[in-house]
Amino acid sequence: MANPVASKILAFDVFGTVVDWHGSIAREVDAMGLGVAGSAFALAWRAGYQPAMQKVRSGELGWTRIDELHRMILDELLVRFGISGLDEAGRQHLNRVWHRLEPWPDSVEGIRRLKARYIVCTLSNGNIGLLTDMAKRAGLPWDCILSAEVFRAYKPDPAAYLGVASTFDVRPDEVMLVAAHHDDLAAARGCGLLTAYIERPLEFGAVHPKDVSPRPENTMHCSSIAALAEALGC
Amino acid sequence: MANPVASKILAFDVFGTVVDWHGSIAREVDAMGLGVAGSAFALAWRAGYQPAMQKVRSGELGWTRIDELHRMILDELLVRFGISGLDEAGRQHLNRVWHRLEPWPDSVEGIRRLKARYIVCTLSNGNIGLLTDMAKRAGLPWDCILSAEVFRAYKPDPAAYLGVASTFDVRPDEVMLVAAHHDDLAAARGCGLLTAYIERPLEFGAVHPKDVSPRPENTMHCSSIAALAEALGC
């Protein structure tokens, strides 16, 4: 097994791995009193995410930021959920809930500890502005915000993973992707990156627990980002 | 005059504005005992910078990161200055002196104060890896590292300045460029950005003092980044 301590760069998936999109959106939608269940709305919004990015990957859409894709999905959901009382300013504000996602309780402290030994950066399909707003609000202490937007390629496009290594002028196996999703990690591994799986059993909410069983192909498997810091001696 | 307090984003030029390239390089070259004057070497290296970027802007070179442009210039300088005792590892190390530039004494504290009210980001022709290494080493608390590399356009290409506004989904006049160079500020102003001139009279060393007279076309004129923070009430 490659020695993870020897890697130089830790690149973090963000939605689900660092922040709790389901809980954050469900709480905000519930608080708006729109007459819909926040959890169902959050799950439906997130379910539109991969199909929307696929339109960009396939070329059906030109390069489009996640903010705009989120808005396209939101406009469909408002119709589907029968929500009519939201004006343009309200829609814009709700769409930016993705800029206001709350970190999991261990994220800020875990990343802070890892930062002492590694370059810690994002590698998210979220756009740069979204990730910057989120980091500033939540206190996520990134050394650098990298995004699909920098590489004009959405994960799992190899250009995104290899872009991190190129950005820092290191070999792919000097980068470790940290993520709560096996498909993201598999694509990174295919590009030669090391991989750390983070258990986020409540990513889809308490009533939809996620299987977080270890898979031997990952370099590391940790219960949280803080546990990753502990395992790496940070 | 546009109200600078109403701007949301402060985008900083880096080389010369935030960090002292001349002093940092001169000291490191002097300490290497290569038999050349560090100051002259630093000035010659920097003098090669605009012509090298011009080759990219003109299309003579495809997209090339500053790290690589710095190395091309360095290899020429080693010949010109008659330095033969530097092996490949030594050249690579020296080339990365640009990652190790020291901030001016007020930079870290000034940016930290401004960060409380504004999004503070870089807008440098330096590449992302260089700027990240520099920030981590010097403790520059950027919210986000933006670079010509993100926009594939070297300043003064309008795509770089307008790219900042687009990244954060704001109007150009909600961004203020902070720089010690009137030509950079003029190009930003041409794109509709606000501008803050920072006096760095010693940018080229104590024996080559720079004219730092105010020009009325800039939105603000400050003696340092700390003075900018003071003027903006941060």
Interval B143-173: pLDDT, tens: 999 999 999 999 999 999 999 999 999 999 9
pLDDT of residue B3: 77
Q: How many CB pairs under 8 A join A and B?
A: 48
The ipTM estimated for the assembled molecules is: 0.95
Q: pLDDT band at A1, cuts 50/70/90?
A: low
- Inter-chain contact B119–A132, Cβ cutoff 8 Å? yes
C-alpha of B234 from chain center: 23
Inform me whether the C-beta atom of residue A164 falls under 8 Å from chain B C-beta atoms.
no
Burial B20-55 (b: 16+ CB within 10 A, else e): bbbbbbbbbbeebebebebbebbbbbbebbeebbee
> What tens digit of pLDDT does each residue of B59-76 get?
999 999 999 999 999 999
- Inter-chain contact B167–A135, Cβ cutoff 8 Å? no
pLDDT of residue A51: 94
pLDDT of residue B167: 98
Inform me whether the C-beta atom of residue A168 falls under 8 Å from chain B C-beta atoms.
yes
Inform me whether the C-beta atom of residue A109 falls under 8 Å from chain B C-beta atoms.
no
Structural fold of domain B4-20+102-231: Rossmann fold (3.40.50)
| Residues in chain A closer than 8 A to B144 (CB atoms) | 128, 131-132, 135, 145
Domain ranges of chain A: 4-20+104-231, 21-99
- Inter-chain contact A146–B129, Cβ cutoff 8 Å? no
Task: For residue B206, report the phi and psi dihedrals to the nearest 5 degrees.
Answer: -65, -25
| Residues in chain B closer than 8 A to A131 (CB atoms) | 144
Stated as kind and residue range, the H or E segment containing A121 is: strand A119-124
pLDDT of residue A85: 87
Best probe of the B interface among A71, A143, A146, A149, by most B CBs < 10 A, is A143
Q: Which residues 113-152 on chain A approach chain B with CB closer than 8 angstroms?
A: 119, 121, 127-129, 131-133, 135-136, 143-146, 149-150
- Inter-chain contact B128–A135, Cβ cutoff 8 Å? no
A212 and A94 Cβ atoms separated by less than 8 Å: no
CATH of domain A4-20+104-231: 3.40.50.1000
pLDDT of residue A22: 98
- Report how far apart, in Å, the C-alpha atoms of A68 and of each of A75, A92, A98, B191, B233 are: 11, 10, 12, 24, 34
pLDDT of residue B7: 86
- Inter-chain contact B145–A144, Cβ cutoff 8 Å? yes
- Inter-chain contact A168–B121, Cβ cutoff 8 Å? no
| Residues in chain A closer than 8 A to B163 (CB atoms) | none
- Report how far apart, in Å, the C-alpha atoms of B78 and of each of B83, B89, B229 are: 5, 14, 41
> What tens digit of pLDDT does each residue of B42-62 get?
999 999 999 999 999 999 999
> What tens digit of pLDDT does each residue of A96-130 get?
999 999 999 999 999 999 999 999 999 999 999 99
pLDDT of residue B185: 98
Tally of residues, chain A: 234
At A155, list the tokens. 């994960």
Inform me whether the C-beta atom of residue A175 falls under 8 Å from chain B C-beta atoms.
no
| Residues in chain A closer than 8 A to B168 (CB atoms) | 129, 132
Dmax over CA atoms of chain A, in Å, equals 55
| Residues in chain A closer than 8 A to B139 (CB atoms) | none
Inform me whether the C-beta atom of residue B49 falls under 8 Å from chain A C-beta atoms.
no
User: Which of A128, A135, A146 has its CB closest to that of B167?
Assistant: A128
| Residues in chain A closer than 8 A to B129 (CB atoms) | 167-169
- Inter-chain contact A67–B169, Cβ cutoff 8 Å? yes
The beta-strand segments (E) located in chain B are: 9-12, 119-124, 144-147, 175-179, 194-198, 220-222
CA-based nearest residue in chain B for residue A99: B168
**CATH says B21-99 is which class?**
mainly alpha
Q: pLDDT band at B92, cuts 50/70/90?
A: very high
- Give the residue from B77, B24, B28 showing the smallest Cα distance to B48: B77
| Residues in chain A closer than 8 A to B121 (CB atoms) | 132
- Give the residue from B67, B11, B74 showing the smallest Cα distance to B41: B74
> If DSSP codes are grouped into helix, strand and coil, which group holds residue A224?
coil
Residue B1 has pLDDT above 60, yes or no: no
Work out the minimum CA distance from A212 to partner chain B, whole angstroms.
32
Inform me whether the C-beta atom of residue A96 falls under 8 Å from chain B C-beta atoms.
no
